[in-house]
Copies of this chain bind each other. A is one copy, B any other.
Amino acid sequence: MREKGQEGRRRDMTALEQMGARVKKASEMMSHMGTAERNRGLAAAAAAILEGREEISAANEEDVKAALEKGMKPGLVDRLHLDESRITSMARGLMDVADLEDPIGEVLSMKPRPNGLLIGEKRVPLGVVGIIYEARPNVTADAFGLCFKTGNGVILKGGSDALCSNKAIVACIKKGLERENLPADGVWLIEDTGRGAAMELMKMNRYVDVLIPRGGAGLIRSVVENSTVPVIETGTGNCHIFVDESADFDMALRIIENAKTQRIGVCNACESLVVHRAVAETFLPRLRGVLSQVEIRGDEEARRVVPEFMPAAEEDWGAEYLDYILSVKIVGSLDEAISHINRYNTKHSEAIITSDYANAQRFLEEIDAAAVYVNASTRFTDGFEFGFGAEIGISTQKLHARGPMGLKALTTTKYVIYGSGQIRL
């Protein structure tokens, strides 16, 4: 059998493939750069961003002006806008990443086999990481920082509304790397913001080792459906809190208020409450008082207790509102709560409020989600809150990385084997 993969297909390379080959080549150099060299690159990029803040600001103004002209929503314009302090914190973010412990090169275990082979598993860069994201220019510097720290090349495909900003940021980063004689080809922005370029990127298995989409459900679905490059799905969160019959009501209310209202537009916000029947009558009226600004949609039983609740429809159980809305479902047992949550959740973050030891343990065991909490807010599902010092996204899939992804999610391993002439018998 002849392997056709590598050299059998002879044709002219597209512009994107040429770019992919250059980033791949740079990533090979980066994969054996030391920690000090990579940190020097991050510092140089940070310095160049600070020096170039006027250019970045001017480019961003162009983007913002065009966005306003086309009637972009204020919330999105805000995420697009880079003021002085945001540019400074982009640079500071790179310095913070430089300060993190370097995961690359660690040998996770090394053991001799009976035949004397010494087999170790070494943490190494993935190679080239593709990031597809929306019009948030801060992601540009952020994603570069995490990838460069871990010795990975990065190909950035940002939203078209942020193109001028992204170009200016990447130009600064490249200038910083060049100044230090580090491979500036290790970061590349795709300037063609059309759908064709995105589709081509999703099929560039030869040059891209993993794709991470960051953005809304539509963007993520499109990448999952079209990509032949392996994808790490970062996802939506339909997060539940279960108020058990033994719950401390004060604690439950404090946690629910935090999880629902501290920040509504995020994936770890609580979208649905599951309440044990035994406490529905005493608990729900107090809930109403605490969440006065939230629209509560209850099932029939909840509405018998608090008639002001709006009626919940079937689609409410699966809804990620990202809004001041909360659904409430009454259940008769822990079993019923677990089965409801496992049916409707998006495998992100789920919490139980209880004082019962066995119920706490069962909830932790039987709920299928990236993060399962006892007596705490779902809002903690976050790389910084978990102590990783960084976050490239929150994985809601099960392969490679699950939950908040820090630097280690951007690494793989290889087996290194020290022999002394062994052959297989």
Chain B's closest residue to A343 (CB) is B6
Considering only CB atoms and an 8 Å cut-off, how many residues of chain A contact the other chain?
A: 91
> Does A413 sit within 8 A of B, measured CB to CB?
yes
A16 → B minimal CB distance (Å): 18
Picked from B111, B373, B387, the residue with its CB within 8 Å of the CB of A419 is B373
Residue among A317, A343, A400 having the largest count of chain B Cβ atoms under 10 Å: A400
Interface string of A254-286 (1 = CB under 8 A from B): 110111001000000000000000000000000
**What is the distance, in angstroms, from A259's C-beta to the closest C-beta of chain B?**
8
Measured between beta carbons, the chain B residues less than 8 angstroms from A399 are 126, 209-210, 230, 232, 399-400, 412
Interface check A168, CB cutoff 8 A: no
In the complex, whether A102 has a CB less than 8 A from a CB of chain B is no
- Contact yes or no, B236 A3, CB < 8 A: yes
- CB atoms of A379 and B7 under 8 A apart: no
| Cβ contact within 8 Å between A422 and B380 | yes
- The answer to whether B209 touches A398, judged by C-beta atoms less than 8 angstroms apart, is yes
Q: Mark A409-425, 1 if CB is under 8 A from B, else 0.
A: 00011111111111110
Give the residues in chain B near A122, CB-CB below 8 Å.
364
Contact check, A398 vs B8: say whether CB atoms are below 8 A apart.
no
Is B397's CB under 8 angstroms from A230's CB?
yes
**Cα of A231 to Cα of B390 in the assembled complex, Å:** 27
Does A315 contact B2, Cβ atoms closer than 8 Å?
yes
Q: Determine if A52 is an interface residue (Cβ-Cβ < 8 Å).
A: no
Check B412–A402 contact: CB distance below 8 A. Answer: yes
Residues of B within 8 A of A315 (CB): 2, 4, 7-8
Q: Does A84 make an interface contact (CB < 8 A)?
A: no
Beta-carbon contact of A7 and B318 below 8 Å: yes
A377-B424, A415-B386 given; A342·B3 CB < 8 A: no
A166 at the interface (CB under 8 A from B): no
**A127 at interface by CB-CB < 8 Å:** yes
Q: Name the CB-closest residue of B to A28.
A: B342
A251 CB to nearest chain B CB (Å):
4
A368 to B31, CA, bound (A): 9
With CB as the reference atom, state the residue of chain B lying closest to A362.
B32
Is A205 part of the binding interface, using a Cβ–Cβ cutoff of 8 Å? yes
Contacts of A416 in B (CB 8 A): 364, 372
- A321 lies within 8 A of chain B by Cβ: yes
A217 within 8 Å of B by Cβ? yes
Which residues of B lie under 8 Å from residue A232 when comparing CB positions? 399
Decide: A417 near B373, CB < 8 A? Known: A225-B228, A232-B399.
yes
A424 and B379 contact, Cβ closer than 8 Å, known pairs A209-B398, A412-B399, A414-B369: yes
Given A32-B366, A315-B7: A415 and B371 interface contact (C-beta under 8 Å): yes
Apart from A117-B380, A375-B421, A402-B413, list 14 A-B contacts with CB within 8 A.
Answer: A2-B319, A6-B317, A6-B344, A119-B387, A209-B399, A230-B399, A232-B399, A248-B421, A255-B423, A262-B423, A360-B418, A370-B414, A375-B418, A375-B422
Can you give 28 contacting A-B residue pairs, CB < 8 Å?
A1-B216, A1-B217, A1-B320, A1-B322, A2-B321, A3-B319, A7-B315, A7-B318, A113-B386, A117-B376, A122-B364, A205-B224, A209-B398, A209-B399, A230-B399, A254-B421, A254-B423, A360-B418, A364-B416, A369-B414, A371-B417, A372-B417, A375-B422, A377-B422, A379-B423, A380-B424, A398-B412, A402-B412
Interface residue ranges, A against B (CB under 8 Å): 1-8, 28, 31-32, 111, 113, 117, 119, 122, 126-127, 205, 209-210, 216-217, 224-225, 228, 230-232, 236, 238, 248, 251, 254-255, 257-259, 262, 314-315, 317-323, 342-344, 346, 360, 364-366, 368-377, 379-381, 385-387, 397-400, 402-403, 412-424
